[in-house]
A and B are shown apart, each in its own frame.
Chain A
């Protein structure tokens, strides 16, 4: 691998970066503002980015507001994650037709027309992509739908210099510093001296793209500024997850009064699983034409919060909302470790902001832990 390139870019270069990636055949996707939230969509140039916006998030609350610094990447994560592209909410698995009782498979899932380039992947999201890579590509079987999208994808990471009140990546060890493998990593700095980006690339793909931009080597002072800006995003985080012994903590507290307490608030709406960048559960449905000689099979996101999820003949296994919330939290934070060797939570805080009941998993874990470690009541 080549030596790491660290360059300083003027903000105008982001527009050139987008166009350069498009010229290389990528569909460039990045944050845009729609209906009062950050959503990921195709970006043709820097004008499509949420310049000058920032966000305010709390348990059960999210809103965009004008920022003070004109930054391009001043918003932290919104309701969507990159899984909407890599592990689509619905995908046609195949089509078949039937004649005289015999059927034929006509075709499998189509990969996207152009490979994806993601612009503005946060550290927690890069960690979430690595988590889904492990589940969908590196287990006993490989999911070709995910693989055909993930393998060619070009990732432009952006390190956070501001954290939302819902973020807790620092305590999960997933951010705000980018640790995963991105092709290009940007850090946006707006200070008295001006507005500029630090761009870093380790691999050939990223360095080639970077070589096309106007740049100059970053100075030690600029590297230091970028590092402190990212460190300040860690320092700002008001939420944290105490992960010490968390697997055993949850396994041992299968029965705990807190599950009843949270079940009284949880609406089992499944929002938390839809916004979570690592939740991967799906169901499969048949769509058959009116004539009955054609059928399609579709895979769709599913959620462990629904009653149907655990249905077997005779009834559902998890009928109570208590059992369903417990399954979700225990899977995320405990059984995931047994299954895939890491936590299923990257600390992005989406499930906290987008829960209509304002349920906060860091608080739930804290409450369960509180009753176990007598006298330990600090946050």
Chain B
């Protein structure tokens, strides 16, 4: 056994404490360390992800969606889209999930201090941004305005609906959401997330923007922000690629010169703007 050195591919068992339904296909799992197990405290930076191993099924990169100030617990929000995520959200309280990590770069929360923070999320993309929102609200005086723009396919696909409403009640916090298809009962906005920009008073020189969602959405939002005067260096995106190891050795998440698992997933738009336009890179 290679026990003399730390094996970065070895998961540690954590236990599901609570699992709650966000939407028909999306669940939030709160994990806690196994009894006496060497699980660690679970510290992370907003934007980092873990590799979650489902016994006998497979392992997936999943962003940490909980509060970074909360120790001894790790929270994930998972959308069931295939066999592994389906198995993951089928866990019950008291069952174990393998955890490796945290991995990757985080959102520039320290760099954003003193500035307005604009969070733009699409669908499940709000999950990796929720730790930023928690952090800003916890340290409200260190940041300027907090603006959350959220787009989902339909009202029933919106995650964290209650929290979105609660966040909107904080001072200097604006929450705008929109859906692609509203349905008859929907009284909110309909349209793509970029359509929300017309409601914004951006102060481009003192704003940091953080984006997560489908690549096409991030590309459009980043362009829109640039058109509204934000410097590329003040816009950050979280990228997704296939990942098998998260430690830069399986090769899968390569994107040009980058390994998204270790050089990302959060990148400055200034570094990747040209790459975003390269189809099949």
Residues of A that sit less than 8 Å from B by CB: 93-94, 96, 98, 101-105, 107-111, 135-136, 139-145, 147-148, 251, 254, 280-286, 288, 292, 294-295, 297, 299, 302, 304, 309-313, 317-320, 322-323, 327, 331, 334-335, 338-339
Residues of B within 8 A of A101 (CB): 91-92, 94-96
Residues of B within 8 A of A139 (CB): 248-249
Q: Do B55 and A318 have beta carbons less than 8 Å apart? A: no
Please report whether the interface of chain B is mostly helix, strand, loop or mixed according to DSSP: loop
Among candidates B7, B56, B250, B281, residue contacting A281 with C-beta atoms closer than 8 Å: B250
CB of B24 closer than 8 Å to a CB of A: no
Please report whether the interface of chain A is mostly helix, strand, loop or mixed according to DSSP: mixed
* 7 new A-B contacts at CB < 8 Å, known A98-B55, A145-B2, A281-B251: A96-B55, A102-B96, A283-B252, A284-B58, A284-B250, A288-B57, A304-B254
List 5 A-B pairs, Cβ < 8 Å. Answer: A101-B94, A108-B10, A141-B247, A143-B249, A280-B249
Q: Do A338 and B257 have beta carbons less than 8 Å apart? A: yes
Among candidates B96, B248, B280, residue contacting A317 with C-beta atoms closer than 8 Å: B280
What is the minimal beta-carbon distance from A199 to any residue of chain B, in angstroms? 34
Q: Do B1 and A108 have beta carbons less than 8 Å apart? A: yes
Scoring B residues 158 to 182 as 1 if CB is less than 8 Å from chain A, else 0, what string do you get?
A: 0000000000000000000000000
Complex: chain B residue closest to A338, CB-CB: B257
Scoring B residues 5 to 18 as 1 if CB is less than 8 Å from chain A, else 0, what string do you get?
A: 11111110101000
> Count of B residues near A, CB < 8 Å?
46
Interface residues of B in 38-75 (CB under 8 A from A): 53, 55-59
Residues of B within 8 A of A317 (CB): 241-242, 280-281
Among candidates B1, B59, B244, B254, residue contacting A335 with C-beta atoms closer than 8 Å: B254
CB of B139 closer than 8 Å to a CB of A: no
CA distance A98 to B55 in the complex (A): 8
CA distance A323 to B13 in the complex (A): 38
Which of A98, A140, A148 has the most CB atoms of chain B within a 10 A radius of its CB? Answer: A140
Residues of A within 8 A of B96 (CB): 98, 101-103
Residues of B within 8 A of A322 (CB): 280
